[in-house]
Amino acid sequence: MSEHAERSEAGVRRPPGPLLLGVRHHGPGSARAVRAALDAANPRVVLLEGPPEADALIALAAEEDMRPPVALLAHVVDEPGRSAFWPLAEFSPEWVAIRWALEHEVPARFIDLPATHTLAREEKEEEEEKEEVGEGEGEPDGALSEPARAVRIDPLAVLAETAGYDDPERWWEDVIEHRGTPGIEHRGTRGIEHRGARGEDAFAPFEVLGEAMEALREVYGAGGHDRDLVREAYMRLQVRAAQREFGDDVAVVCGAWHVPALRQRTTVAADRALLKGLPKVKADMTWVPWTHRRLSRTSGYGAGIDSPGWYGHLFAAADRPIERWMTKVARLLRDEDRPVSSAHVIEAVRLADTLAAMRGRPLPGLTETTDAVRAVMCEGSDVPLALVHDRLVVGDALGEVPAAAPAVPLQRDLARLQRRLRLKPEAQDRELELDLRKETDGGRSRLLHRLRLLGIGWGEPVASRGSTGTFRETWRLHWEPELAVRVAEAGVWGTTVIAAATAKAETDAVGARSLADVTGLAERCLLAELPDALPVVMRILADRAALDADVGHLAQALPALVRSLRYGDVRGTGTQALAEVAAGLAERVFVGLPPACAALDAEAAEEMRGHVDAVHGAVGLLAEGGEEAGGGADDSRTGIRGRWHSVLGTLSARDTVPGVVRGRAVRLLLDDGELEQEETARLMGLVLSPGTAPGDAAAWIEGFVGGGSGGGMLLVHDERLLGLVDSWLTGVPGDAFTDVLPLLRRTFSEYEPGVRRTLGELVRRGPAPRGSVADTVSGTPGFGPGLDEDRAGAVLPVLRLLLGLDEAGGDVGDRRDRGGPGDNDLVGAGR
């Protein structure tokens, strides 16, 4: 009697032929049902939906260091940029089947279309279709083009709509996830319900789901999944081959959508005809770490589920899942210093149960638990609820692969670049000085910037001590073991460093929330020299700038954009398009800034002063670039400084503009030499006029002096400014001085103690007497001590000696005689 017959006599009765276990990829209910069915059937071989090239990697799943979520990565040997991923989580039915086979020493094989054909077909069809892992699909990770997506159906959505559900996820939870694992004893109303005896019930969910999919395929045929016809033909051939070797004692774990096709009786010749002439390339495969976040649809590399963290919880906590989930949420909120007690947990569980009963659901689902958490633990606020969604519902679990696994293509490319650039990873911190004019140093800089864009913090840029030129860079390097995981995680963006950084930059540009984020990204693309990503970023930047009417956003974006122009010369990167966008952005700021500065409160006025400072610095760089370009430069760049000065003049003269902004505008004009001292004094006098509120006058002085932005040192080294401030302050009326004093104290308290001490000493000395040498200096009102003519005269002999001069054409000896025997130049100079 055969082994299979013995198993049948043991009390397990299953459908004839190969055991087809139709599942939802990454469905915890399907995963539990698969284990129960395999335990009941105990097949001699397990066939899985996936690329056959990965058969040699299955044994690594038993390694202690292998921790899901992980993914199978296939890439073309000669072109690593062409790749595909097959993600697996702990709650994926395929992963459960692999682990069961390894535990029971049963062969496990992948039977999907080989990756050699999949990658070749993708190259041929890339303009029409991209890879996708959809509902009920097991294709490589990716997304379809819009025309293709429009004709494809979602099997779960159709079944949910037929059952009266508007949400496929809720239908799946009610029908599958909350049904539980057949063959396991009942655990009570608080847990997922498990019912039935071991045996026949273990196959019931697969039979029912298979019948539903068969009905769908009778109506929709391939449902727009034309590539599946070829894949299913290959699967049928592999199932037949397994039957020849093991008989009907075969278990097949595949997407439920494929079950009717695998049951279909076709000839071998017909299936082979579908496979004839398929393109083929040479491909490599490996395991790479994956994350729950990558399993989410919102990540851009979705695998068909919105809440991987929630599904992982349902799989791991079949006993009292709601209570355990609320405990997790409470622990997370407590870690964020939010007051959550045990009573909150109890009430949240009760509310979730009540909501499920009112909505006619067998157990609370994610919707009910989310509503309960919002009402009880988050006090109705969506802010902490967003944290729960990000940390728990989606989750940040990161998988690990054993050292025995083949290297990730991105890691290989990084190692190759490290060898070529002689940039060896080291555990100890070290500083690296780079001269970007040298080819090797330029390559090192590009590599480090690309890794930073990918989130691989191997190097951190620091201020250069040797030079302030743009051709110098200083990096602090430190390699940590965790960075190897970051490299593997970044492999989802591409298989080479430049390809991954390009894809990441393009994705970040599309998802950027503000205009300043896009301009910062453009700067990073220039530093990393990503020629393919820069046009995409610039297009998005131009679109965002054209639609954004907020002057504050435009002012925030301009500085980073203008800084980026500085990197064109030394890095050899064309920045003409960048310069045009920057000039256009500057003009929009010039036009919108005066009206945007009207009627602002104190906080908004302070923020606007920061914008004015940032734009002023950007205009200086932009004007310098236009002047250096000479006559061939765009006139909008060469005349931009004059237009900006006109804007500052407008700001300084409008009474509706806050005092801190008006004072800052006057200060910037004075620094640029566009405002005479007399005009500055006149503006100060206007501020002190009886019609000006003391608070506004003090704010004007705060903007003029500069607060903590270096204004104190300017007052110390420029006695002209100190004299102007002193003249204004001594002219403040007595009845207004008390109101002004707190604001002035706040302004000067931001200075360093040494600066305040020096200013106090200068004010204590007071202005020098009229007619002194100090007054002969243009623009100096006389602050500081008068010139000591005796001490100054003692220095003159030393200066003449150094310069080789004498007073009346005599020699040095004559000068010494005239100086007298007791004179000592050094003593005189120090007296």
Tokens, residue 125:
């069809």
Specify the pLDDT at position 145: 41
Specify the pLDDT at position 301: 43
Q: What percent of the chain has pLDDT over 70?
A: 77
Confidence of residue 827 (pLDDT cuts 50, 70, 90): very low
3-state secondary structure 496-544: CHHHHHHHHHHHHHHHCCCHHHHHHHHHHHHHHCCCCHHHHHHHHHHHH
Assess contact for 133 and 231: CB atoms under 8 A. no
Confidence of residue 570 (pLDDT cuts 50, 70, 90): low
Query: How far from the centroid of its chain's Cα atoms is residue 379's Cα?
Result: 29
Using the predicted structure, report yes or no on whether residue 112 has a pLDDT greater than 60. yes
Assess contact for 502 and 533: CB atoms under 8 A. yes
Is 388 buried (19+), middle (13-18) or exposed (0-12) by CB count in 10 A?
buried
Angle between helix 694-705 and 659-671 (nearest 10): 30
Query: How far from the centroid of its chain's Cα atoms is residue 566's Cα?
Result: 25
Mean pLDDT across the chain? 78
Edge-to-edge, what's the strand order for the sheet holding 70-76?
Answer: 83-88, 70-76, 283-289
The DSSP code for 406 is P
AA identity, residue 666: V
- N-terminal to C-terminal alpha carbon distance within the chain: 119
> Can you tell me the distance from the alpha carbon of 187 to that of 319, in angstroms, rounded to the nearest whole number?
7
For residue range 20-42, list pLDDT tens digits in order. 999 888 888 889 999 999 999 99
Assess contact for 345 and 327: CB atoms under 8 A. yes
Tokens, residue 18:
């190969």
> Can you tell me the distance from the alpha carbon of 143 to that of 122, in angstroms, rounded to the nearest whole number?
12
- Average pLDDT of the segment spanning 788-802: 83
Q: Which whole-number Å values give the CA distances from 552 to 83, 108, 660, in the listed order?
A: 42, 60, 16
Provide the phi-psi class of 676: left if phi over 0, else alpha when psi is between -120 and 50, else beta: beta
Using the predicted structure, report yes or no on whether residue 664 has a pLDDT greater than 70. yes
> Can you tell me the distance from the alpha carbon of 679 to that of 684, in angstroms, rounded to the nearest whole number?
9
Using the predicted structure, report yes or no on whether residue 152 has a pLDDT greater than 90. no
Q: Is 664 helix (H, G, I), strand (E, B) or coil?
A: helix
Cα radius of gyration rounded to whole Å, the chain = 37
Using the predicted structure, report yes or no on whether residue 742 has a pLDDT greater than 50. yes
> Among 205-209, 398-402, 593-597, 713-717, which is the least confidently predicted range?
713-717
- Average pLDDT of the segment spanning 198-225: 78
> Can you tell me the distance from the alpha carbon of 716 to that of 722, in angstroms, rounded to the nearest whole number?
7
Tokens, residue 222:
């391939």
Assess contact for 795 and 829: CB atoms under 8 A. yes
Domain residue spans in the chain? 3-299, 320-395, 409-493, 789-830
Using the predicted structure, report yes or no on whether residue 199 has a pLDDT greater than 60. no
Specify the pLDDT at position 467: 57
Using the predicted structure, report yes or no on whether residue 489 has a pLDDT greater than 50. yes
Using the predicted structure, report yes or no on whether residue 632 has a pLDDT greater than 70. no
Specify the pLDDT at position 783: 55
Assess contact for 310 and 393: CB atoms under 8 A. yes
| Predicted model pTM | 0.59
Query: How far from the centroid of its chain's Cα atoms is residue 515's Cα?
Result: 15
Q: Which whole-number Å values give the CA distances from 714 to 690, 710, 720, 776, in the listed order?
A: 29, 7, 10, 21
Residue whose tokens read 């840029």: 461
Q: Is 156 helix (H, G, I), strand (E, B) or coil?
A: helix
> Among 386-400, 409-423, 517-531, 723-737, which is the least confidently predicted range?
723-737
Question: Looking at per-residue confidence, does 561 or 191 come out higher?
Answer: 561
Using the predicted structure, report yes or no on whether residue 333 has a pLDDT greater than 90. yes
Specify the pLDDT at position 522: 83
Tokens, residue 530:
């990503």
> Among 95-109, 345-359, 580-594, which is the least confidently predicted range?
580-594
For residue range 46-77, list pLDDT tens digits in order. 999 999 999 999 999 999 889 998 888 888 87
Specify the pLDDT at position 690: 61
For residue range 517-533, list pLDDT tens digits in order. 888 888 888 888 888 88
Specify the pLDDT at position 132: 45
Nearest to residue 58, comparing CAs of 397, 310, 356, 402? 402
The DSSP code for 330 is H
Confidence of residue 368 (pLDDT cuts 50, 70, 90): very high
Confidence of residue 660 (pLDDT cuts 50, 70, 90): confident
Assess contact for 135 and 157: CB atoms under 8 A. yes
Is 393 buried (19+), middle (13-18) or exposed (0-12) by CB count in 10 A?
buried
CB atoms within 10 A of CB 154: 17
| Of 150-164, 172-186, 303-317, 614-628, highest mean pLDDT | 303-317
Largest separation between any pair of C-alpha atoms in the chain: 132
**Residues 211, 213, 214, CA angle at the centre, nearest 5°?**
60
Report CA torsion sign: 815, 821, 826, 831: negative
Specify the pLDDT at position 469: 60
Nearest to residue 557, comparing CAs of 570, 567, 544? 544
Assess contact for 459 and 452: CB atoms under 8 A. yes
Stretch (H or E) spanning 623:
helix 602-629
Specify the pLDDT at position 81: 66
